[in-house]
C-alpha cells in the first residue's frame, strides 16, 4: 500500500504537514536565537535555514516510513485517521 507523496495521503496533506513543521520550528529557533541576544536578521536567517533542513528531514523520513507501512501514532498520518488534511 503506497501512502507517500501523491498517494493515499495526497499532496495537500504533505504540504500542510510541511508548513506546520516549518513554522513551528522557525518560531522556536527564532525565539531561542533572540534569547541568545543575536540580531533579528541573524536570528531569521538561522531559523529559516535550520527549519528548512529539519522539515525536509522530518517529511522525508515520514514519507519513507509511510511507504514502508510503518505507523506513527504521534504523527496521526495513518490510513485510519479521521481527518487526513490536518
48-55 mean pLDDT: 96
Confidence bin at 51 (pLDDT 50/70/90): very high
How many distinct structural domains can be found in the chain?
Answer: 1
Q: Does residue 28 contact residue 35 with C-beta atoms inside 8 Å? A: no
Instruction: Please check whether residue 74 lies inside any domain of the structure.
Output: no
Confidence bin at 75 (pLDDT 50/70/90): low
Q: Give the domain range for residue 48.
A: 10-68
Instruction: Please check whether residue 28 lies inside any domain of the structure.
Output: yes
Instruction: Please check whether residue 33 lies inside any domain of the structure.
Output: yes
User: Nearest CA to 59 among 9, 2, 17?
Assistant: 17
Instruction: Please check whether residue 3 lies inside any domain of the structure.
Output: no
Angle at which helix 10-35 crosses helix 40-68, to 10 degrees, equals: 140
Instruction: Please check whether residue 36 lies inside any domain of the structure.
Output: yes
Q: What is the pLDDT of residue 17?
A: 86
Q: What is the pLDDT of residue 53?
A: 96
24-32 mean pLDDT: 97
Instruction: Please check whether residue 35 lies inside any domain of the structure.
Output: yes
Locate the DSSP E strands across 1-86. Answer: none
Alpha carbon of residue 84 to chain centroid? 15
13-28 mean pLDDT: 92
Q: Say which residue, 30 or 3, is predicted with more confidence.
A: 30
Amino acid at each position: 500500500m503506497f501512502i507517500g507523496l501523491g498517494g493515499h495521503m495526497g499532496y495537500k496533506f504533505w504540504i500542510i504537514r510541511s508548513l506546520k513543521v516549518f513554522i513551528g520550528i522557525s518560531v522556536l529557533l527564532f525565539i531561542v536565537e533572540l534569547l541568545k541576544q543575536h540580531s533579528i536578521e541573524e536570528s531569521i536567517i538561522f531559523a529559516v535555514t535550520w527549519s528548512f533542513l529539519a522539515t525536509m528531514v522530518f517529511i522525508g523520513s515520514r514519507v519513507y516510513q509511510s511507504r514502508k507501512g510503518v505507523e506513527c501514532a504521534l504523527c496521526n498520518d495513518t490510513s485510519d485517521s479521521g481527518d487526513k488534511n490536518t
